[in-house]
A and B are shown apart, each in its own frame.
Chain A
């Protein structure tokens, strides 16, 4: 199984809402990532988890809160987002942190109203 799954596929939320994005992989990978991708732009790294510990936070605002409950799951908790946070949020995994071959999920299309 070389698949990274993400739920939900689409999410619309208001600026006062709290929601969570979920990501799962069963490849035994020990690194998981969150990226943000705006339309017609490249993915931008947000967070890296290595062996379930946060190893990189790319100065992401605190309204985004990542969580790695176990080696297969990665969550991104959202609270008090702004309309400019609307984007495609991609989850990825790799065997270890720093690997150049990362496996990406299809993403969650987030719209903040």
Chain B
């Protein structure tokens, strides 16, 4: 079946380092790829999205890269802070933007040490 998955289940970094979280996907027909952050005791929170016809998108301290050739998605967080500690999920939106549904990948636990 089609799925979105992650290479690394955990990532531990020092405060101030850059973090890179990776994700592999298999559904080439997805319209959007999205990153969500879930802190302990909270629901997922939208971070950034990238449309399937783009390669790169930047936000505040975050950059998402999409490599459609190898079906790979990554989230780069610059100058990682303790508040960035959370589980990060990649997700894909498929089925069109009027009917589409989100399918989440398995998640990566990011731990930032002060």
Contact = CB atoms under 8 A, between A and B. Distances in A.
Interface residues of A, number: 25
A75 interface: no
Given A106-B41, A107-B43, A45 B101 contact: yes
A90 B32 CA distance: 22
A60 interface: no
A4 B43 contact: yes
A99 B18 CA distance: 29
Interface stretch (B60-68, B72-80, B103-111): B103-111
A105 B43 contact: yes
A43 B101 CA distance: 12
Contacts of B45: 104
Interface residues of B, number: 25
A61 B99 CA distance: 22
A105 to B, nearest CB: 5
Interface string A98-109: 111111111100
A100 B93 contact: yes
B34 interface: yes
Nearest to B39: A106
A48 B101 contact: yes
Contact of B98 (A4, A40, A97, A106): A97
A98 B96 contact: yes
Interface string A46-81: 001000000110100000000000000000000000
Interface of B: 32, 34, 41-46, 49, 89, 91, 93, 95-107
